[in-house]
Amino acid sequence: MKTLILMRHGKSSWGDPALDDHDRPLNDRGVASVEALGNWLRERGHLPDRALVSTARRTHETFRGLGLDCAEDAQRALYLAEPDTMLETLRKAEGDTVLMIGHNPGIGWLAQDLVTAAPDHPRFEDYPTGATLVVRFDVGNWSEVRPGRGEAVDFIVPRDLTD
């Protein structure tokens, strides 16, 4: 059994128009949301062995803000990646529970592609910032993961935790 935690980065700042998109940080709301998401993951027992993270500043800050005790593997290929690229990266992963932090629209599309049935949540389709899907696969190795074969175990968006 393998478990994937698929997370879109926290809300980022548009305050400095001179910054390259890759270098945009989290804004205050994003920082608070990420902390709440980290608490939620710990409370639910969704603890990754490994984190696959886009090299963008906002994804790195999202990972750090979660406060999880696992190694971060920053990968440039995950920056604004398409679902196929993310799935290819996942298939090379190690560990039983992997956290992947990326960007829309790719990460939202990947979430939809992976599950046998979408979770009953009104925000699953648009996958807002901080959206987090926990999906399990009945496989022995990540290389065996195929679209449409994952069971959605949990899904949350930051507003569910902060409102």
pLDDT higher than 80, residue 162: no
Average of per-residue pLDDT values in the chain: 96
**Mean pLDDT of all residues in 66-86:** 96
Residue 17's pLDDT is what? 85
Q: 29 is in which domain, residue-wise?
A: 2-162
Q: Which residues contact 124 (CB under 8 A, 6 or more apart)?
A: 111, 112, 118, 131, 133, 155
Residue 16: its pLDDT value, please?
87
Residue 139 reports pLDDT greater than 90: yes
> What would the two tokens of residue 118 be?
């979408």
* pLDDT over 80 at 72, yes or no: yes
Note the Cα 5 to chain centre separation in Å: 6
pLDDT > 90 fraction of the chain, expressed in percent and rounded: 95
pLDDT computed for residue 163 by the predictor: 62
Angle at 127 between CA 58 and CA 112, to 5 degrees: 120
What lies within 8 Å, CB to CB, of 121 at 6+ separation is: 155, 157
CATH number of the domain that residue 145 is part of? 3.40.50.1240
> What torsion, rounded to 10 degrees, do the Cα atoms 51, 127, 159, 30 define?
50
Q: Which pLDDT belongs to residue 3? A: 98
- Confidence grade of residue 127 (pLDDT, cut at 50, 70, 90): very high
Mean pLDDT value across residues 95-105: 97
The length of the chain, given as a count of residues: 163
Looking at the 3D structure of the chain, how many domains does it have? Answer: 1
Looking at residue 2, its amino acid is K
